[in-house]
Amino acid sequence: MTEPRDVREVVIIGSGPAGYTAALYTARAQLEPLLFGSSVFVGGSLTTTTEVENFPGFPDGVDGPALMENMRAQAERFGAEMIDDDIVSVDLTGDVKVLTDSAGTVHRARTVIVATGSGYRKLGLPKEEELSGRGVSWCATCDGFFFRDRDIVVVGGGDTAMEEATFLTRFARSVTVVHRRSTLRASKVMQDRAFADDKISFVLDSEIAEIKETDGVLGGVVLRDVLTGATRDLDVTGLFIAIGQDPRTELFTGRLHLDAEGYVTVASPSTRTNLPGVFAAGDVVDHTYRQAITAAGTGAAAALDAERYLAARP
Ligand code: FAD
């Protein structure tokens, strides 16, 4: 185990829009932040997509990985230090927080900003990730616009799936909701709205058995009836997977207050967690919006909260 050089003012965990924005703000406030951005997944969720059309400031859209590289470079320009490694253990209770990276180096900080994001649940089928951005998506708000006049299948039976399906009817020719149980989990109001929509049809007791590729893009799916095992082709060029998200909070279980679904709870509208000097921002907190711009926004808020916390210390 190696010891750190000194006690940092700010350590940020996570390299998505929330973490990089927090790094930019704290760097410009002369707090010399240190950001841990993961050993395998630097730049966060947007590095897994191609075209981002809804981040302000880019009238022609922007490539996801390029946007993240620019965010990083902007924070580095003001002196933010980046380490592409994982934080693997934390002690956040004291005035000085203690964080250990995967190389065993111990880092100390007066404030910690948690911006570890969340991951979409996957179906676990071949070609699913390969066709991400090529017909397969996890976010209707992000990608719906690309699916004008298409036939789309939405997988899931909860509120998110109903919301995605209903939203997608603005663009799609048809939306088929596939759910593996005989009843939906969604609230009655969301179900009623989806049932009332002429463009939406339902295939219950069914799951996606296969994702098909045609010329490098989604070429359709095969549905399997879970009761009979019978399969059939569904001719779609859009697949939206809406079976939930997992916030990356394993590191904080038993340390920070988490809600029933594992998201960090904060004293809204601030980014304060239950522990003094520990702030959280982005999708690790957010059930509702889950957008790059909202993550960046709360990243800025966390930086300002950390700055004020440090300024108020005796
Ligand atoms: P993330 O971007 O998830 O970043 C968190 C980072 O922290 C990750 O790199 C993770 O590995 C790292 N991390 C986690 N734990 C640790 C640890 N212990 N140590 C070090 N690092 C750690 N949003 C839009 O607004 N527009 C779009 O067009 C759009 N398209 C999308 C397309 C896809 C395929 C996906 C998956 C998402 C898309 N989104 C889009 C959503 C958007 O990417 C997220 O809302 C946003 O990235 C959340 O930012 P974040 O900073 O909270 O977390």
For the CA of 40, the closest atom of ligand 1 is 11
Is the pTM value of this prediction over 0.95? no
Half-sphere exposure of residue 193, counting CA atoms within 13 Å on the CB side? 16
Minimum-distance ligand 1 atom for the alpha carbon of 117 = 53
To test ligand 1's pocket by mutation, which of 46, 248, 287 has the most ligand atoms within 8 angstroms of CB? 46
> Hey, what domains does the chain have and what are their CATH numbers?
8-119+245-312 (3.50.50.60), 122-241 (3.50.50.60)
CA 223 to chain centre: 27
Pocket test for ligand 1, best of 13, 25, 45, 50 (most atoms within 8 A of CB): 45
- Show the tokens assigned to 236: 């779609």
pLDDT range class, residue 4, cuts 50, 70, 90: low
Whose CA is closest to atom 14 on ligand 1?
Answer: 116
| Cα distances (angstroms) measured from residue 146 to each of 12, 118, 167, 294 | 34, 24, 13, 21
The active-site residue, picked from 139, 151, 159, 197, is 139
Strand 278-280 versus strand 106-114 pairing type: parallel
Altogether, the residues listed in the chain come to a count of 314
Please determine, for the modelled complex, whether the ipTM score is greater than 0.90: yes
Secondary element (H or E) of residue 73? helix 64-77
Give the model confidence (pLDDT) of 174-200 as tens digits. Answer: 999 999 999 999 999 999 999 999 999
3-state DSSP call for residue 251? Answer: helix
User: 8-29: per-residue pLDDT in tens?
Assistant: 999 999 999 999 999 999 999 9
